[in-house]
A and B are shown apart, each in its own frame.
Chain A
């Protein structure tokens, strides 16, 4: 081990495909630092450049500009087979003409390890992904979930410094997917390998990651822990992409938020000390219907969802707001459509969105 704090440094990386009028800017000056043995997730909608970034770390694409460093050393110009980085492909890309154990042994053999070492590692890897009984099978004789575990074992066997996983769980059914999520976290802890995981499933990202990078339109939107991303989204894109959010505008005055005709929330509803017109985001579970709430409105819809109920409220100033309550056994509905209600907020429930003007 060397003393570098960061496993991977992505430094002002841009990637452009094509030329002239057909050019697409897949990545726009992205800078990211991924720590050693971190479970790091790239999260974003389809086409935002996640796969492109992963392929540049693996060496299948070169950045148009910028630099990628591994343990402080630039990877520029190094071909995929010269990088201690392995990929679990979205489509698995198992070698169809080789058996499961030959697939898993491939990387080690290419590295020139001796037979005994290869055998030992393959046995250990197959046990790890619980496929010891399938060693002699061909990939086409396995289920999708089993193939995916072979792909994982194959990528882990050479013990890379970094493991890249591109939407590796997306093909699995819910049950298997939950199992694999737990399995991946365990592998990451036990092997000490840095995991860079790509997904467009926010729940998967929130449950598995040490840190998440939210990407949108080829740009990095926010990097942080799951709590930071969920509780303190920095802009509308992140707030909108992750979880449920109400977007509101208000006037911050002192420590209060004024919503015009809808009323005002005193004391600390906004986490920061900004003043003047502000753009805000609020999670529905941080708000509640309450007699002593500072905001007034009318319930426009009630959505029962098993574990909780969502109330859509039109505030007196015309803005729309969502409030969520956990359902208790035997408890009555708090309100029905058309009821006049008051809304209260937890301290810090409102998150200031940057880069946007307050009032329209």
Chain B
């Protein structure tokens, strides 16, 4: 439907600018994926097509161990942080209480703190407690920084929820738990799922904090890739990155589909 409004919004040069932006954003990624199929050992020199590097990645014990660490940490951090984020969002929606505004701000604040600060602080904290650095410290740190990512979508969803619905459930003989299970939870589920997926991606992808608090043997995939790069860019690195990219895309698509579910 061509209306006056969208004609007013039409400017010259929007299309070329958009194309330029897309090229800028995605060309490097396309090149990375293409080069991951390069037969040559020098990553930047194309000589022919091959799956070799992918096979090598799948045979490399270090990479597999790092991948396992990453998945364990991301899964654990997602489950725990989403659980607490849901509780926090429910508490914030339960009505006015003292310090609610401050609490809400504090829940979102970690998003604004520079990651390096969180990393150093976490490291100092673990050392002060005398905890040995390892997968556990990584997991704890991830749970903490994933929390606001999981919290925000759930909170947004709850904010859009009519408080009369919970009252209607209670009016129709649902106990508090039943009202939550049958009415509130199904309605905020898209928020919970997208919060969880955000948390998972953020955890899987984290380098700075992990690098600081991971001890020996707790290497995650991003930390391992960083180690490899220091010895030069190989097609192997391209292959791992391409695999990570696939996981990310899968999550984005899933998250998009869940988000589009009617409320």
Does A91 lie within 8 Å of B172, measured CB to CB?
Answer: no
Residue among B173, B175, B179, B262 with most chain A CB within 10 A: B173
Does A86 lie within 8 Å of B171, measured CB to CB?
Answer: yes
Report Cα–Cα, A313/B196, bound state, in Å.
74
A81 and B173 in contact (CB under 8 A), knowing A97-B187, A106-B182, A110-B178? yes
Q: Does B263 contact A (CB under 8 A)?
A: yes
Does B164 lie within 8 Å of A95, measured CB to CB?
Answer: no
Per-residue contact bits, chain A 344-360, to B (CB 8 Å; 1 contact, 0 not): 00000000000000000
**Residues of the B chain whose Cβ atoms lie less than 8 Å from the Cβ of A110:** 169, 172-175, 178
Question: Contact partner of B172 among A60, A96, A106, A140, CB < 8 A?
Answer: A106
Question: Contact partner of B164 among A59, A89, A140, CB < 8 A?
Answer: A89
Does B262 lie within 8 Å of A140, measured CB to CB?
Answer: yes
Q: Does A87 contact B (CB under 8 A)?
A: yes
**Residues of the B chain whose Cβ atoms lie less than 8 Å from the Cβ of A85:** 171
Report Cα–Cα, A207/B165, bound state, in Å.
31
Chain B residue nearest to A95 (CB atoms) is: B183
Chain B residue nearest to A60 (CB atoms) is: B167
Does A111 lie within 8 Å of B173, measured CB to CB?
Answer: yes
Does A79 lie within 8 Å of B170, measured CB to CB?
Answer: yes
Does A97 lie within 8 Å of B170, measured CB to CB?
Answer: no
Per-residue contact bits, chain B 137-175, to A (CB 8 Å; 1 contact, 0 not): 000000000000000000000000010110111111111
A93 and B168 in contact (CB under 8 A), knowing A106-B182, A158-B173? yes
Report Cα–Cα, A27/B18, bound state, in Å.
61
Report Cα–Cα, A81/B186, bound state, in Å.
20
Per-residue contact bits, chain A 67-92, to B (CB 8 Å; 1 contact, 0 not): 00000000000011100011101010
Chain A residue nearest to B161 (CB atoms) is: A96
Does B168 lie within 8 Å of A87, measured CB to CB?
Answer: yes
Per-residue contact bits, chain B 209-226, to A (CB 8 Å; 1 contact, 0 not): 000000000000000000
| Total number of A residues with any Cβ neighbor in B under 8 Å | 24
Report Cα–Cα, A93/B179, bound state, in Å.
14
Per-residue contact bits, chain B 80-120, to A (CB 8 Å; 1 contact, 0 not): 00000000000000000000000000000000000000000
Q: Beyond A81-B172, A91-B164: 10 further Cβ-contacts under 8 Å?
A: A60-B167, A85-B171, A86-B171, A93-B162, A93-B165, A106-B169, A106-B172, A110-B173, A111-B173, A155-B172
Taking CB atoms and an 8 Å cut-off, the chain A residues in 189-248 that contact chain B are none
Q: Does A107 contact B (CB under 8 A)?
A: yes
Report Cα–Cα, A262/B42, bound state, in Å.
114
Q: Does A265 contact B (CB under 8 A)?
A: no
What would be 27 A-B contacts, judged by CB atoms less than 8 Å apart?
A58-B171, A60-B171, A79-B170, A80-B170, A81-B174, A81-B175, A85-B171, A86-B172, A89-B164, A93-B162, A93-B167, A93-B168, A94-B168, A96-B187, A97-B183, A97-B186, A97-B187, A106-B169, A106-B172, A106-B174, A107-B172, A110-B172, A110-B175, A111-B173, A140-B262, A158-B172, A158-B173
A81 and B170 in contact (CB under 8 A), knowing A93-B162, A96-B263, A106-B182? yes
Per-residue contact bits, chain A 104-132, to B (CB 8 Å; 1 contact, 0 not): 00110011000000000000000000000
